[in-house]
Chains A and B, each alone.
Chain A
Amino acid sequence: MNQLIPPFDFERVFLAPWTQHFELTFWIVLMGFLVATACGLVGNYLILRRMALVGDAISHSILPGIAVAFLLANSRGTTPMFLGALAAGVATTILIEAIHKRSRVKQDAAIGIAFTSLFALGVILISLYASKVDLDQECVLYGEIGFVTPLTQPVVTVGGLTLGPVPVVRMAVVTLVTGLLIAMFYKELLVSSFDPALAFSLGINATVMHYALMCWLSVVVVSAFEAVGAILVIAMLILPGATAALLSQRLPVVLLLTVVNAALSATTGFHLATWLDCSIAGAMVVMAGVLFCLAWVFSPTQGLLPRQWQRTRTNTALSAPEWIH
């Protein structure tokens, strides 16, 4: 056990990364923040629509899309990867709908069947073409956020100005566009998430919104893929949004809290990983989980403790003698 958990050293865990390895630390934390923000913002709408597990499904079934794109384009270029991911995302959505609307299989089972089949296909493709597809199965699952720094990645420069490593810049663009899209289609997303019938009467096509959301989800997932891997993307999709939902009931506040949550879990997660010397993406998710637990227990309106306290107070007040006249 002593070997497993290294001794806690404030200097090593909190100060050294920022003073000695600033270049590494900054980009990794920034990448974690961007991934958690983009995923969290989209994830909020998944939670509202009770489609959290569709996000899970898409984050898995993107694998064959990427594998096929690699095989066809023969490169790790961004465009084929995005196109493959989009195609896979749409295919998953259509498959799920086809299975559960065209037969008596329920939606949950349909999700399970669709994404496992596609994921299996992806794993087989990759293992058959292991030499041609430069894709590590484990990397696909876990991701490696440590490789996003300028030390291992080419750097984007625009007009002499150094912006940063390619994956981080790409993720930043995706995150910004996510924010913009949500701002632009705020009303449409809101109405179609809460009340599809009202959306229809307002002239908003809920089906189009559904597919658009799924497409954008695929784009976000594939860009987050490299950093956190397929399975931890689902954590980033659900955890920040779920934590925010425990703290507020107003969507704008929830969206804002999601961003704050993303920043907190990225930073604390990085330090946790430095301390325990473990997977950085994993530690970020663990911290997001810890934040959720905190909100679950202490949330002022819905937390376990405040509610318990309120109940005790009400009971005491009711049983107080002065109430009985």
Chain B
Amino acid sequence: MTRSLKFALPVLFTLCAALASAHADRIGDLGEVTIREQALRFVSLQDPTVRYAVLGSVLLGITCGLLGSFIVVRKMALVGDALSHAVLPGVALGFLWHTSKDPLAIFIGATVAGLLGTVVVGLVQQTTRLKEDTALGMVLATFFAVGVCLMTMIQRLPTGNKSGLEKFLFGQAAAIGPDDLQLMAVVTGLTLLAVFVLYKEFLVTSFDEGFARASGFPARVIHYTLMLLLAGAVVIALQAVGVVLVSAMLITPAAAAYLLTDRMNRMLWLSAGFGMLAGVAGAFFSFLGPSLPTGPFMVLGATAVFGGAFFFGPRHGLVTRWWRQRSRAQRVQRENTLKSVYHVLEGRQFQGEGVSLRELAERRRETVEEARQQAAELCRHALATLHEEGNLIFLTPAGWQLACAIVRNHRLWELYLTNAAQIAADHVHEDAERIEHVLGEEVVRELERRLDYATQDPHGRPIPSWADLRQGAAPNVRPDDTVGYGSSI
């Protein structure tokens, strides 16, 4: 997987670079002033077209974000894709009804077609051996083909005016008029209402359908309610985003929210917010140049949000996780170094001054150079100071305390395994090596209590006591050493 990611990233970067250069070219064509003027026109919201577009994008983002959350957690993300294609014959028939762009007729036709599509998907799954993906793909394709045939037939009609229909393919937020806006507001209102009133029902049927049925929830009614709302959302989104990309507005913001939280209500908030953000960003960018489609920019906006969550999400983000693992590995490494220093000191009954790099390297079976790096790492975290040209390590009080704590954890755990779990004394070291870094203070106190405050580990070495830790200074620290020679390394 790492390798495939390494492949994917350059490809992505190339595409992004291509896009960036494309953009630059465009700006050159237009001239700096026009872009700025357009941007100002957008931001000032004085133009009614801009106001409609922004308001439409916001409503759209909220509706898609809310409903998308439910289909993402239900693992039906691609139902949105199928629906958006399946509505096409409905759009065409609704168009035919008035042979003009009447939003309500188109809306009704499309919603009916979309619902019909989901019913067919359900039927195919129930009555044949075909799986969900095949059923979805088939309905999507067949309905879309019927739609394409109808559209080509309508275009041939003498009365046919196809100018409005083309917008349904790629979307143009600037084409949103007051009528469309009314419809969007109604659908958004209904969606908000449904999510608010039926929140519990949607939640239960999404996560545990068996439980929902057993508790008497009409799971199928709820499913089709969701599908009806979804069809409505798809239809209002069509105009701004276009047929192909509607599913992105449903899936991407919700998936980004899914990466950031474990709670459904927070996911709904986040997802609606992301949807709004993507919608407005898309409207803004497509406004900058002539004949730039809105949908793709909205989708790329949503993808950027998803990318942010994917890489930098506080809990599940790829970079965050990598960073966390790295810092944990570094901490373990530091603690092991400290432990080795302790062992060296212990080997000569805590006599003599400091620990030389050579001693540390011998103890850890490493080269002096590696030991030097580790010592420098300890210095960086103020756990030790270096003296005599960086060859002698002195632990600071904090370093001594941590070293004692780690050795204590290790030996207590060994003792516990031999005493309580009856494991042979020569088998406990490996396990203790791992657990010593994660034992919390509470657990250690409990271990001590259970082991009757034993003072010796199974190998007969003394366990550093609580008092040793609290004493706070290594026996061989020079009291005058607050700033050592090597602390500047």
Contacts and interface: CB of A to CB of B under 8 A. Distances in A.
Contact of A87 (B5, B11, B128, B255): B11
B175 to A, nearest CB: 15
B244 A94 contact: no
A169 interface: no
Contacts of A260: none
Nearest to A116: B248
Among A97, A124, A304, the most chain B Cβ lie within 10 Å of the Cβ of A124
Q: Which residue, B19, B137, B248, has most C-beta atoms of chain A within 10 A?
A: B137
A104 to B, nearest CB: 6
Given A113-B303, A277-B156, A235 B11 contact: no
Interface stretch (B142-150, B328-336, B347-355, B444-452): B142-150
Contacts of A241: 134
A97 B26 contact: no
A7 to B, nearest CB: 14
B252 A282 contact: no
B263 interface: no
A124 B297 contact: yes
Contacts of A238: 134, 137-138, 141
Interface string B58-94: 0000000000000010011110110001000000000
Given A124-B296, A138-B169, A282-B145, A242 B130 contact: yes
Given A4-B153, A106-B77, A235-B145, A113 B19 contact: no
A64 interface: yes
Interface in A246-282: 246, 273, 276-279, 281-282
Given A116-B248, A235-B145, A296-B128, A91 B138 contact: no
A120 B128 contact: no
A128 B26 CA distance: 7
B133 interface: yes
B234 to A, nearest CB: 13
Interface residues of A, number: 78
B1 to A, nearest CB: 5
B8 A116 contact: no
B193 interface: no
A126 to B, nearest CB: 9
B133 A116 contact: no
A226 interface: no
A53 interface: yes
A302 B128 contact: yes
Contacts of B151: 279
Contacts of B360: none
Interface in A89-141: 90-91, 94-95, 97-99, 101-106, 108-109, 111-113, 116-121, 123-125, 127-130, 137-138, 141
Contacts of A116: 244-245, 247-248, 251-252, 299, 303
B316 interface: yes
B39 interface: no
Contacts, number: 250
B204 interface: no
B258 interface: yes
Contacts of B442: none
Q: Which of B148, B157, B251, B316 has the most CB of A within 10 A?
A: B148
B145 A94 contact: no
A55 interface: yes
A97 B142 CA distance: 28
Contacts of A91: 8, 11-12, 15
Contacts of A87: 11
B144 A235 contact: yes
Contacts of A273: 149
Contact of A53 (B14, B78, B293): B78
Main secondary structure of the interface of B (DSSP, over half): helix
A292 B133 contact: no
Nearest to A286: B145
B131 interface: yes
Contacts of B297: 120, 124
A117 B255 CA distance: 13
A206 interface: no
A309 to B, nearest CB: 14
Given A98-B1, A127-B293, A231 B244 contact: yes
Given A120-B300, A125-B22, A112 B247 contact: yes
Contacts of B148: 142, 232, 278-279, 281-282, 285
A296 B255 CA distance: 35
Given A102-B318, A124-B297, A235-B142, A53 B8 contact: no
Given A101-B1, A104-B258, A286 B149 contact: yes
Interface in B292-334: 292-293, 295-297, 299-300, 303, 306, 310, 316, 318
A95 to B, nearest CB: 6
A282 B149 contact: yes
A112 B26 contact: no
Contact of A285 (B77, B96, B141, B259): B141
A114 to B, nearest CB: 9
A53 B251 contact: no
A108 B80 CA distance: 11
Contact of A120 (B166, B245, B251, B255): B245
A125 B259 CA distance: 29
Contact of B142 (A111, A138, A239): A239
Interface stretch (A44-52, A75-83, A151-159): A44-52
Contacts of B291: 127, 130
17 contacts: A104-B258, A108-B75, A109-B72, A109-B255, A113-B252, A116-B299, A117-B303, A124-B22, A127-B293, A138-B169, A232-B141, A239-B138, A241-B134, A276-B153, A277-B156, A282-B146, A285-B148
Given A106-B77, A116-B247, A296-B127, 8 more contacts: A87-B11, A98-B5, A102-B318, A112-B80, A127-B292, A231-B244, A238-B137, A278-B148
Interface of A: 3-5, 47, 50-53, 55-56, 60, 64, 68, 71, 87, 90-91, 94-95, 97-99, 101-106, 108-109, 111-113, 116-121, 123-125, 127-130, 137-138, 141-142, 231-232, 234-235, 237-239, 241-242, 245-246, 273, 276-279, 281-286, 288-289, 292, 296, 302, 304
